[in-house]
Amino acid sequence: MATQLKEDFTEATRWRRRPRPTFAWLAQVTSGVLLLVLLTVHMVAQHFVVEGGLRTYADVVAWIRNPVVFAVEALLLICVTWHGVAGVHAVLLDLGLRGRAERIVARVLGDIAVATVLYGLWLLYMIAFRG
């Protein structure tokens, strides 16, 4: 027999119209997989190749001036900020964040993420071009 589904949940059109939850999952998975690669590269190249593990000031500047390194570090920054802030949002949701507070926090987290990326990119630029 045909089953009845409540109107407020049925909304078959919702299925077509809103990819956001699936997109959020895919973004987290994609950024996570990218981070596995990028962070490994970052850790090895930054700390396990150099004698003593840490570069001096001059070495850092020379390293960051390499365009491939610059690009990788920038991509790493974007991925880690996205992944991390999305993760914090999930944690806050599970701590009971709801309603208006949830919307405000989501907006604030978004702003923090943007600010973080902008700051990091600016820092990269300053080291590479003004070092």
Partner 1 sequence: MSTQRTVLLKVFRFGPDDAAPRYDQFRVPAGPRTTVLDALLAVRRLKDPSLTVRHSCLHGSCGTCGMRVNGREVLACVTRIEELGDPVVVEPLAGAAVAGDLVVDMEHVYRRLEPVGRPLVRASERAGKKDGTADAGPVLEDLERFEDCIECGLCLSACPVAGDPRFLGPAALAAAERVLEEPRGADPRAVLGLVDDAHGAWRCHTAFECSAVCPAGVDPGEAIMRLRGRLLRDRLPRLVGRYHREVRP
Partner 2 sequence: MTQASRQGARPQRRRPRWLDPRGRHLGTWAFVANRLTGLGLVAYLYLHLVLLSTLLRGPEAWDGLVELFRRPVFLAFDLLLVAGLAFHGLNGLRVALVGSGLLVDRHRALLVAAAILVGLVVVVAAVRILA
Q: Summarize as ranges the residues that interact with partner 2 (CB under 8 A).
A: 25, 29, 32-33, 35-36, 39, 43, 47-48, 52-58, 60, 80-81, 84-85, 87-88, 91, 94-96, 116, 119-120, 123, 126-127, 131
Please tell me the distance from the alpha carbon of residue 101 to that of residue 59, in angstroms, as a whole number: 46
Q: Which of residues 84-123 bind partner 1 (CB under 8 A)?
A: 90, 93-94, 96, 98
Q: Which of residues 39-78 bind partner 1 (CB under 8 A)?
A: none
Nearest distance from residue 1's CB to partner 2, in Å?
27
* Residue 22 engages partner 1 in binding (rule: CB under 8 A): yes
Q: Where does residue 101 rank: exposed (0-12), middle (13-18), buried (19+ CB within 10 A)?
A: exposed
Give the distance from CA 17 to its chain's centroid.
25
Please tell me the distance from the alpha carbon of residue 15 to that of residue 45, in angstroms, as a whole number: 45
